Amino acid sequence: MATKLVIVESPAKARTLNRILGRGYTVKASVGHVRDLPKSSLGVDIDKDFSPKYVILQGKRKIVRELKDAANKASSIYLATDPDREGEAISWHLIKAAELDRNKSPVHRVVFHEVTEEAIRKAFKKTRTIDMNLVNAQQARRILDRLVGYKLSPLLWRKVQRGLSAGRVQSVTVRMVVDREREIQSFTPEEYWSIEVELAVPQKKQTNFKAELIALLDGTKLNVHNKQEAEEITAFLEKAGYQVRSVQTKQVARHPSPSFITSTLQQEAWRKLHFTAKRTMAVAQQLYEGLPLGEEGSVGLITYMRTDSTHVASSALAEVRSFIGKKYGEHFLPSKARVFAKKVKGAQEAHEAIRPTKVIREPEGVRAFLNSDQAKLYELIWKRFVASQMSPALYDTVTMEIEAKVSKSKDGYLLKAASSSMRFPGFMTVYSEGKDESDKKEIPTSLPELEAGDRLSYIAAFPVQHFTQPPPRYTEATLIKALEQEGIGRPSTYAPILTTIQERQYVNKVDGRFHPEELGIVINNILIEHFPKIVNLEFTARMEKDLDKIAQGEQDWVATLRNFYSPFEDTLQRALVNVDKVDMTKPTDQVCPKCGRPMVMKVGRFGKFLACSGYPECKTTMPFLVKTGVPCPQCDGELVQRISKHKKVFYGCSNYPKCQFITNSKPIPQPCPQCGKLLVLYKDDEAKCVVCGYKVKLSELNINKEKVEVTS
C-alpha cells in the first residue's frame, strides 16, 4: 500500500513528525535548500525579466533523487517546510528539482508554527497550495543580493584587493558600525558637575538621606560647568537653610514585556546569556524541531523562532492563565489576557510570538533532557512568556522637593530626593529584563516620612566632576535593535548579517563590542562616495517594505527588480572609471626569511598576514601576530593573539611550535600576586591565574577592563 510522503528540511524535524504521524506516512528531510543560483556565474538573465537560472546544489543530487523516487511511490505528497518565505521557497524548489508537479500524486503545502501533535494534525487537515507571493518575495531578495554582490565584488577586487565582497544589507550594517566609530572618535567630552547634599531630620536619629541639586528656586534647570561654579554653589549650600517644599507619593505599575520575537530573543539572549545571534538561532532551531523527552518521545518545545509578531494564540493564552492562577495565585493573574500591539512594521498576525508549546513543561522538568545551551534558552523563553501574562509589579514611590536658601534671600536652589520600594512583585516573581547601558539605574534610596514645611539640617555637600560620554559601540543586542528600528533586515536575516560582516573582516568584536576594521572603513568610504543608495539606511528600509508588498501580493517582483537595477547599473559603470585604486599593503620592520626583502602587511579572507614585497618573484607569506606584551608562563617567549581556523581568537606563545602554550582568555599585563605567573581575564571584572587558580578583582590591580588591550 502506498504511503503518504512528507518532506521537511531537517532530520531532527523529520524524526519528530515521524513519531507524531506514525504508520501510513514516510517523512524525509531535504536538509535545507536543494536549489540555488550558481556560484560560478551571475545566474540571472537580466534581459529576460531577471529570470533566475537555478541549479541543484552540490551534494544534494542524491537527496533529490531519493525524494523523487519516494514521491513516485507515494499516494500523496506533503511539503512541511518552515512557515515563512524561506520555507515557502524551499517547498517550491523541491517541486521543481524533484519534478513533483509532474508526478500523478497530489502535492499539498502544510504549515504549522509548532512541532506538536495537536498543531500538526490540525495543519494536515487544512492544507493549501504553494503561495507564489511568498516565493516571489524570497526570489526577489535572493536576486537583489546576487546582483549587488556579483556586480560590486569585481569592482572591489580591481580597486582594493581580490577576494572581497559586498552585500546589500551587510554593507548598510557595516556603515552603521563605522558611523558610530566616527561619532566616538570625533566626540569632544564636556565637563559638568553634579552636587548631592546630605541632610538630616532634626532631633531624629538615623534619618540622614541625600538630595540632588537640580534647579534654581524659580525652576530654571541648573547646569554646573566647572570646578569654580561647583565650589561657589557648595559654599552657598553650606550656609543655607533647608525646608521641604513638597512631597508626592504615588503607586507606579511596571508592566511586563511581550513574549519574544526573533529580534528581542536575540537581544535578551545576548544580555543575559551572552549568546551571539547565530548561537541563539541554532539552539532555538533545536528547541523548535523537537528533542527527545523520555517517555514523551521527540517533542517541539517552542513555537517557530523566526517571527516578528507578538500575537499569541487564544488557546495558549487560556493555558498560561490557568497555569498562573494555580501556581502563583489569583493576585498574579490580570482580570483579562494581556494583548500586545504589533510594534514591528509588516508583522504577520498569522505568525505567533516565540513561546513554549506547553507551559506546563516547566524548565526544571525538562532540564535533564537538554544540554546546557538548550536549557538556558528554553528557560528564558518560558519565563518571558509566563511573565507576559502576569499582573504588573507595583512600586510605592516618593518624590520630595527641598528648598535651599539663605534667610531673607529670594535666591537659592531646588533639590530633589526620591525613593522607590516594591509593594507587589507581580510578573517580576518570574522574570525581569536584562539592561542595556542606556537604561536608567534603579532608585535605591529610602526616605524618612516628611511633610511640606518640615525643616532639615545640613550635613555635607558632595560635588562630583563628570564628563559627557560618547555613544557606546554596538553590542550584538544593540546592533540588532538598531537594525530593527531602522527597518533593515527581517527575522531570518539578523544573525546571518552579524556573522557575515565579521567573517569578511569588515568589523571585529572586542569585549563584546563591534569595532570597524580598516578594510571595512575603506570599502564603506568607496560605497558612500560612489554607491550612496546601496548604503543609505532609508533606501534599504524601503526595499524591505517593497519585499513585504511582494509577499502580500501588492507589488510585482520583476518591476521591483527593474526599478532597482537600471540606476544601479548606471552607477556601477561610472564607478568603474571614477574609483581610485586603494593600496591596502603596509610596510613592516620584518624581512623575508627567504630573499631578505621587506615584508608587507596585507589583508586576506582570513585576516591580516605578512607577504614578501618581492611578489610575484618571491611568494613567501607568514602569519601576522598581534603582540600582547605579556610573557609566556612556560618559556621566554611572548604571548601573541592568533585566529583559529574557526575564526576564534586565542593566545599562544610566539615560540610555537617549540612552545605550545595557549589560552582562550585575554592575558593581563600584571603577574599573579600569589605565584607571579600569568593572569587572564576571567569574568567582567575579575582575573584568574592559569597556574595556581588565584582570583583577583581588576580594580585591586588598578586595571580598567577596557584598557586590557593587545598591541600590534
End-to-end Cα separation, the chain, in angstroms: 70
Mean pLDDT of 103-115: 93
Among 18-22, 127-131, 182-186, which is the least confidently predicted range? 18-22
Q: What domains sit in the chain, N to C, each tagged with a CATH number? A: 4-130 (3.40.50.140), 144-186+472-578 (1.10.460.10), 191-255+393-467 (2.70.20.10), 262-388 (1.10.290.10), 585-624 (no CATH), 640-712 (no CATH)
Return the sign of the alpha-carbon dihedral for residues 326, 330, 333, 336: positive
Rounded to 5 degrees, φ, ψ at 613 are: -70, -10
Locate cell 535572493: which residue?
142
Contact (CB, 8 A) for 275 and 287:
no
Contact (CB, 8 A) for 28 and 65:
no
pTM: 0.85
551-595 tens-digit pLDDT: 999 999 999 999 999 999 999 999 999 999 998 888 988 899 999
Residue 711: the pLDDT is 33
Grid coordinates given for 588: 613592516
Return the sign of the alpha-carbon dihedral for residues 232, 234, 240, 244: positive
In angstroms, rounded to a whole number, what is the distance separating the alpha carbons of residues 548 and 256?
A: 29
Contact (CB, 8 A) for 383 and 354:
no
Q: How many CB atoms lie within 10 A of CB 657?
A: 7
Residue 712: the pLDDT is 32
Mean pLDDT of 248-272: 95
pLDDT band at 203 (very low <50, low <70, confident <90, very high): confident
161-174 tens-digit pLDDT: 888 888 999 999 99
With b meaning 16 or more CB within 10 Å and e meaning fewer, what string describes 339-371?
ebeeebebbbeebbbbbbbbbebbbeebeeebe
Residue 644: the pLDDT is 74
Residue 128: the pLDDT is 96
Residue 226: the pLDDT is 96
Mean pLDDT, the chain, integer: 91
Q: How deeply is 277 buried, as exposed, middle or buried, from its count of CB atoms within 10 A (0-12, 13-18, 19+)? A: buried
Catalytic member of 304, 328, 378, 474? 304
Residue 414 has pLDDT above 70, yes or no: yes
Residue 510: the pLDDT is 82
Residue 503: the pLDDT is 87
Q: How many CB atoms lie within 10 A of CB 41?
A: 10
Residue 641: the pLDDT is 86
366-407 tens-digit pLDDT: 999 999 999 999 999 999 999 999 999 999 999 999 999 987
Of the candidates 327, 302, 343, 308, the residue with the CA atom closest to the CA atom of residue 389: 327
Residue 646: the pLDDT is 65
Of the candidates 409, 292, 280, the residue with the CA atom closest to the CA atom of residue 354: 280
Contact (CB, 8 A) for 190 and 226:
no
pLDDT band at 247 (very low <50, low <70, confident <90, very high): very high
Of the candidates 14, 594, 494, the residue with the CA atom closest to the CA atom of residue 279: 494
Q: CA-based angle 639:642:647, to the nearest 5? A: 155
439-481 tens-digit pLDDT: 545 555 689 999 999 999 999 999 999 999 999 999 999 999 9
Residue 605: the pLDDT is 66
Residue 33 has pLDDT above 50, yes or no: yes
* Length of the chain (residues): 712
Residue 651 has pLDDT above 50, yes or no: yes
Mean pLDDT of 542-546: 95
Mean pLDDT of 406-424: 90
In angstroms, rounded to a whole number, what is the distance separating the alpha carbons of residues 380 and 394?
A: 23
Residue 710: the pLDDT is 36
In angstroms, rounded to a whole number, what is the distance separating the alpha carbons of residues 80 and 539?
A: 35
Residue 132 has pLDDT above 70, yes or no: yes
With b meaning 16 or more CB within 10 Å and e meaning fewer, what string describes 54-69?
bbbbeebeebbeebbe
Among 1-5, 98-102, 485-489, which is the least confidently predicted range? 1-5
Mean pLDDT of 32-41: 95
Residue 609: the pLDDT is 86
Residue 345 has pLDDT above 60, yes or no: no
Residue 271 has pLDDT above 60, yes or no: yes
518-536 tens-digit pLDDT: 999 999 999 999 999 999 9
- Is 694 noted as a catalytic residue in this protein? no
Concatenated DSSP letters of 131-190: -HHHHHHHHHHHHHHHHHHHHHHHHHHHHT-TT----HHHHHHHHHHHHHHHHHHH----
Mean pLDDT of 487-512: 90
Question: What percentage of the chain carries pLDDT values higher than 90?
Answer: 76
